[in-house]
Structure 1
Amino acid sequence: MNKRNFIFLLSIFLLILVFYVDVSTSTQNHTSKNILIGSFVGGRSHVNPMLDIAVLLYERGYNIILVATESHSLSLEYPTLKHVPLRARPYDFSYIKIVRESFHKEYNYKNLAALHEFHIKSYNYVFEVYKNTAEEFDVDLFFCDALLNDACLDVANALKKPVVGYTVNLNGRLLRTSLVLVDTFFGFEVPQTLPPNIQEIGPVMSEEYPSLTPELEDFLNGHKRVLYVSFGTRFFTTIENNNKLLKAFIEAIDKKIIDGVIWTLVLTSKDDFSPTLNLIDGTISCHESLYTGTPMLVFPFAYDQAGNAEKLKLNGVGLILSKLNLDVNDVISKIDLLLKDENVKKNVKRLKFLSMINSKRKYRAADLIEYTLHDSHNKGTSKGFLNDWIPKARFFEGDVNIYVALLSVIFGLRLIGIGI
């Protein structure tokens, strides 16, 4: 056997030996990891997307504990999670009064002062609920809604636990968090630079929605230009404005601009229910309308609704009504424009495509939460967590890093080449 053949056979033998690979993936025991989701005053537009992400984490073996108000009735909708209610306190009724007053007058950010006062009065009680829950369930990570929810962030930091923030719009209130998830997407949101720990993951859409009732299904099958009215979780209006809206809808039907109206607060399937036009104010309604490719007539009252309205108008998929100067003819003309304008149709199609693509990013959100939970810098994380993702090679009786083994082969072949 000549030298060339011997080196070739020896190299094949060594490579077969080295590439008897036992590639391991992470084998962390997720069942012992507990994630607390906290929301103080956020409505369904805040809580439901967080829970849709939590469902993915539950399916991966994590335990989910929700701390939120009783009014959500979430135990029936998400039976797999533990629900610790933030029960009503005597001063909670002042919150309802503050919200109602905000809806009935011109809104600006000075109105937030009253909400912050309510937040301060509630802080000690909410802090204790979060702290007691975290200690009872041995929480490993906090997932906190940003809206008036400093107690959630403070408890996480006090207990030295990793914390992930959630918000429906870009803001600077979550600087104390390891990671910020923003339920929006560029295309709907105005593009801007973001630090790496702030990730847009919206629109977060539920996997399932309640089916249409037979009555609704029959109504939609018999009508081609349906106006769907949805005013979000918290809505306070006036009898005068309600009368104006009803009059505008009736006249729009008489003029054959639309041929039907559904005014409801019940969630329906985004796949089965695609109305011609939406009259909306909430974030979830915005996302669902964009996903189904439906133009929007927006009726903003307070808080982030005004910002959502401006974004929809800027993107050419919506028009805005004024709560303080509502006019029947203005409502009718805007409905007509949204249904007939070719530019609106093009923009709606574009935003629908972007929404459907970006709606898959809730899986990335779950991945990022997992990464934050298991980050080796966090207290209590197994030292071998990151090492488990490095391919290993079984070399004789011990595990040797495959890259070290490859270098050994190259070095050995070099020695053989010199010595023979």
Structure 2
Amino acid sequence: MVSKYLILVIIFLTQLISIGVNASSSSDNIKGGDSSSKTASQKPTKTSWWPFRKSQLDNKQQFTQSKIEIDKNAKEPKNILVGSFVGGLSHLRPSLEICKILIERGYKVSESYSQMYRNVALVAPGNFTSHANYPSIKQYSTGPEHNTKELSSIYQPIFEKPYDYNSFFLEKDEADNQYLERYEIYKQSTIDFKPDLLLCDLLNNEACFDVAWKFKIPSVGISSSLSRRTFAPYKSDPIYGCHSNMENESFIERFKCLIIRPARFLYESRQRIISLNEKRVSVGVSPISSSLERIKNSLFLADTFFGFEIPHPVPPLYQEIGPVMQDSYPPITPEISSFLSSHKRIMYVSFGTQVYTTPENYAILLQSILEAIDRNIIDGIIWSLSGLEDFPSTISSSDETQLDTSEILHNLYTHIYVTNSSSGLAPQVSILEHANTRVFLTHGGVSSCHESLYTGTPMLILPFAFDQFSNAEKLEEQGIALKLDKKNLIMDDIVRKIEFLQLDARVKVNLKRMQVLAKINSKRKYRAADLVEFVMKASQLNPKKFKYDDDDGNEIVKESVDKNVPNNDEGKKSTEKESNNENSGETSYETVYNSSPPEQPIIEDIYEWLLKEWITPDTRMGFIRGKYLDVYGTVLTLLLSLILIAVWACWSVVSFIVNSVASLIEGKLKAD
């Protein structure tokens, strides 16, 4: 053992001496043979090591300078246009959180916080007022604020009747009717704001993606779910009258939910796609065959996470980035704080800002709440009203006493505290995070579900429409929530479920597990910002090709390189062109956006080169080759052929043996 260490020490000293000798000889070779160099070479501790060390420092300095230069170029100003059909903070939060991260990365040193947001603009209904987390955002309004109560002809059947694909088409048809108006707003905002990227909320927002296609600007889709974007045969959707997870369903149900009901949905969608394509053609946008065609090769971000979603394979272009949470939330008001402190077992009730139900359902819910309080299952309720509710004037308590609901709504009932949207939204996250909040009665919107999981609060879910049914099923399957039926609300069932969610030990364990997942995955909004940043940068590193026809009908392909990546061979021409543009009061970007697009743009998806690192080969190979059906079919044919040959050979051998034996027996019989 000692000899081993001795050998290592000798080797180390030998290497050290050789380095010194090499450094000394290189110094002598550089400086020549004059007396000054000889004198210097006699001081090995200083001079013989210095050239070697100096070269290291020079290399490091060059590397540092190049790195700084790269970072400087990487942080050039970029404009992001966020688009949403519905609007509202719950739909906009994921997009705005991503934009906030990108802006802080690029501008936190040189500009004040409020000035950063001049690089983000919003296309959405209503007037998005300055928010504590997202101030000073430029907005191009698409019309009045989305109000489901004012659109009762559409949303009343959706909220009050069983939700299926016919209900889905009610909202879809309204969105399609507004397509041309929204397309023009997106077009004008694109010309005015000159975005480098469009961040489009997926819900009924075809105009956003079509404008991105028209102007050849990268677009990134964002939504709260992957339900209809990815395929797994064991996954379905309550919109078809099926369960989200078909794992335990019978063959008949699995067949219906995989083949028959989706086929009916596609059949019903077909005429709507044709009608929308006619509007596309009228504004110079090419028609598509399905709602996924325009974005099949673009980046898609889903505000969801594993644990919340049913496990299934996800292609690289589809990225789960949720739950997207804000960095800070409004604090509890003094009035709510006082109520929370004086009650130890509180149920928080909120159905969002756009959902409402029937007066009969509100009566049953109030009766159930009063019954739960009388049984001492809970001792307090905080109900956040959106202003859309239509409560009955009176309700009956368990002892048949008639109660005036106005007393409850005006906080004259000791155990119930009601907040109203007219005085500002309730600080939901802060309420859920309070130790005395034991249960959350919610509609099951994805934002509310994420916030409840993040704070570890069990949920009693009353879904009304959209993805709320799927969310309720998935959370109930995880053992952290129970769901109610809007068409069959029963007081005893509600009270029993409120008690179960507070007392069951498995619910508490499952909640802790999901809370850990939610908090870990909430950091992925930074990953989302990375991906969006890559798309913006990649779009500037590739030539954009356009196709023209000359007077003789011959095809001409012209390449235009992005303004931030000048061609070195044509630097002088580029500079002269920019100078001419400046003199004429027109920038290159204005020329691109304000001039008419090419008469015949090349029919190719810009994402085929923009996101080539993420596009899986099977999408380019076609269905048969991409799924290797030709290879599997050949293997199956060969196996069947071999089996048939083996069967034929066995049959031939057996037949030969049988015939031979029969001939022998027959010959013997004849001989006898």
Decide: shared fold, TM above 0.5.
Answer: yes
1:112 equivalent among 168, 172, 187: 168
**1:56: Cα distance to partner?**
1.8
Contact 1:42 1:145 in 2 (8 A): no
**Which consecutive unaligned segments of at least 5 residues does structure 2 have?**
1-16, 27-50, 108-115, 230-290, 386-424, 545-561, 567-672
CA pair 20-31 structure 1, distance change in 2 beyond 3 A = closer
Contact 2:172 2:204 in 1 (8 A): yes
Matched with 2:220 is 164
Query: Which is further off, 195-204 or 13-22?
Result: 13-22
What is the SS of the residue equivalent to 1:189?
coil
1:21 equivalent among 59, 62, 66: 62
CA distance in 1, matches of 2:172, 2:369: 38
CA pair 106-134 structure 1, distance change in 2 beyond 3 A = same
**1:95: Cα distance to partner?**
4.8
Alignment of 1:199-348 (within 5 A): 199-265=319-385, 266-268=425-427, 270-271=429-430, 273-274=433-434, 275-281=437-443, 282-348=445-511
CA pair 89-263 structure 1, distance change in 2 beyond 3 A = closer
1:32 aligns with 2:77: yes
Query: Which is further off, 15-24 or 280-289?
Result: 15-24
Instruction: Please give the per-residue CA displacement for 1:246-279, whole angstroms capped at 9, x wherever unaligned.
Output: 1111111111111100000424162564321100
1:12 equivalent among 52, 62, 67: 52
More helix by percentage: 2
2:195 equivalent among 136, 139, 146: 139
Contact 1:226 1:277 in 2 (8 A): yes
Contact 1:180 1:197 in 2 (8 A): yes
**1:382: Cα distance to partner?**
3.9
Contact 1:309 1:319 in 2 (8 A): yes
Instruction: Please give the per-residue CA displacement for 1:198-232, whole angstroms capped at 9, x wherever unaligned.
Output: 11110011122222111100111111211001101
What is the SS of the residue equivalent to 2:71?
coil
> Which residue identity lines up with residue 374 of structure 1 in the other structure?
K
Contact 1:161 1:378 in 2 (8 A): no
> Which residue identity lines up with residue 63 of structure 2 in the other structure?
D
The root-mean-square deviation of aligned C-alpha atoms, in Å, is 2.6
CA distance in 2, matches of 1:237, 1:38: 29
**Scaled by the length of structure 1, what TM-score is found?**
0.84
Instruction: Please give the per-residue CA displacement for 1:355-389, whole angstroms capped at 9, x wherever unaligned.
Output: 111111111111211111111237527449xxxxx
Between the aligned residues of both structures, percent identity stands at: 42
Contact 1:211 1:269 in 2 (8 A): no
Matched with 1:364 is 527
Higher relative contact order (CA 8 A, sep 6+): 1
1:183 aligns with 2:303: yes
What is the SS of the residue equivalent to 1:21?
helix
1:352 aligns with 2:515: yes
**1:15: Cα distance to partner?**
4.4
Matched with 1:410 is none
Q: How many residues get paired?
A: 383
Query: Which is further off, 9-18 or 290-299?
Result: 9-18
Contact 1:277 1:294 in 2 (8 A): yes
1:196 aligns with 2:316: yes
Instruction: Please give the per-residue CA displacement for 1:2-59, whole angstroms capped at 9, x wherever unaligned.
Output: 9875335549355455444332142137563110000012543211222222222232
**Which consecutive unaligned segments of at least 5 residues does structure 1 have?**
385-420
**1:193: Cα distance to partner?**
1.1
Query: Which is further off, 90-99 or 76-85?
Result: 90-99
Larger Rg: 2
CA pair 114-4 structure 1, distance change in 2 beyond 3 A = closer
Contact 1:209 1:267 in 2 (8 A): no
CA distance in 2, matches of 1:211, 1:228: 16
CA pair 193-106 structure 1, distance change in 2 beyond 3 A = same
CA pair 351-93 structure 1, distance change in 2 beyond 3 A = closer
**Scaled by the length of structure 2, what TM-score is found?**
0.54
